Amino acid sequence: MIIENNFKDLNDNRSKKGSGRIFVLLLAIVFSAGIFLFFHSDERNIPFFSAKREESSVFGKSNEEVAGNIFRNNEDNFGGDKSGRDIFFENKTPLSQFQPERKEKVDDLVLPDAHASLILDVDSGTILHYSNGKERRQIASLTKLMTAILVMERVKDLDEAVTIGDEVYIEGTKVGCPRSGYCIGQRLQVGEQISARSLLTAMLMNSANDAATALGKHIGGSIEGFSELMNARANELGLRDSHFCTPSGLEIDGHENECYSTAYDIARIAAYSMKFDLIWDIMRMPPHTIYSIDGKLAHDILNTDQVLDQVPNCLGGKTGFTPLAGSSLLMGATDSTGKHKIVAVLLDDPYRWQDIKTMIDWTFDSCEWK
């Protein structure tokens, strides 16, 4: 019995040692396979992105998901300006040779009269100033920048004719009437044919609601059809907090809460629109005259931006106002070298003209690009 037990113990020990060796061998195989897959997988080419210079792994995630995670994870950690968030367009990462950094001992920007405000570095996608940037609210005619993007993307020939319909009876600013109730020249006529380019000019410069509506109906067949195109494109661009109701930005009676965006999304729209030079060329044009296709009708239009000549290196701007949205404004500018573009957005700010200048001055005084 003693010999039998000794042999049994010996066999048990050998069995245990054999099992241990097999386990170690299997572990080594799994580890080797993991190393092999890592260095031969396309996912290893997915970059790391940072929020406030802290690395976040993006393996197995889309850029859009990463951007959302960075935003949520750092929502309470950005202080007054909440800078450093990465922004993505169409699941592509903005590439920039230079990254903006806050200079030492610089105070946060405070704009007490603005309901929401945001400053975005266009090339890197870094947010330089942030206040209520993700709060959904009406944006009025800032909507027209999204309309302009669809015009540029969908109208192959901007000199093609657009036929004017009942949009001539629309409320608010119209061609020939730079402010509601204040007209300086001839308005659009029902049945008039005018180029898409001229309407685009009137929409961006003069913030003309009739021009925006005519373009929307020309492209989408109706206001509703064009709004569907706007929202589909917004979704493609990753604008999760925007919903557009009209090409002009006028809210629909009884559905006002369905027409909204955020300072964050508007800044992204503005940055994306910079791929179309014509949009920004138009937004900084002086008073201008557009003509019907046959040349018989002339329409004088003004630029609604009051501080174009007061902001050094201004790229252009877009105004917006409805009673519900309040006074809003976005503006693009560059530093003195012309290399670094920023977009500043103000929503519902009665002192928007002074505050937009303060935002741009603060940016280039407080930040440097390295």
Domains of the chain: which residue ranges?
2-40, 140-369
pLDDT at 308: 85
pLDDT at 235: 96
Per-residue pLDDT reduced to its tens digit, 74-132: 333 233 333 334 443 333 444 568 899 999 988 999 999 999 999 999 999 999 999 99
What lies within 8 Å, CB to CB, of 213 at 6+ separation is: 167, 170, 223, 246, 247, 248
Count of beta carbons in the 10 Å neighbourhood of residue 342: 27
Q: What are phi and psi of 57, to 5 degrees?
A: -70, 140
Distance of CA 318 to the CA centre of its chain: 14
Q: What span, in angstroms and rounded, lies between the C-alpha atoms of 128 and 156?
A: 36
Q: Give the pLDDT score at 180.
A: 73
Report residues of the chain scoring pLDDT below 50. 1-17, 30, 34-94
Q: What angle do CA 278, 281, 282 make, to 5 degrees?
A: 85
| pLDDT digits 0-9 by tens, 194-211 | 999 999 999 999 999 999
Q: What pLDDT, on a 0 to 100 scale, did the predictor assign at position 96? A: 66
pLDDT of residue 95: 58
Residue that the structure tokens 């930040």 belong to: 367
The CA distance from 111 to 39, in Å, is: 49
User: In this structure, which topology does domain 140-369 adopt according to CATH?
Assistant: Beta-lactamase (3.40.710)
Using the CB atoms, write b or e for 189-215: b if 16+ within 10 Å. eeebebbbbbbbbbbbbbbbbbbbbbb
Q: Which of 298, 233, 231 is nearest to 259 (CA)?
A: 231
The two three-digit tokens of residue 235, written as one number = 């979704």
108: tokens are 């946060």
CB atoms within 10 A of CB 301: 26
| Count, residues in the chain | 370
β-strand partners of 119: 129, 344
pLDDT at res. 178 = 80
Q: What is the pLDDT of residue 182?
A: 84
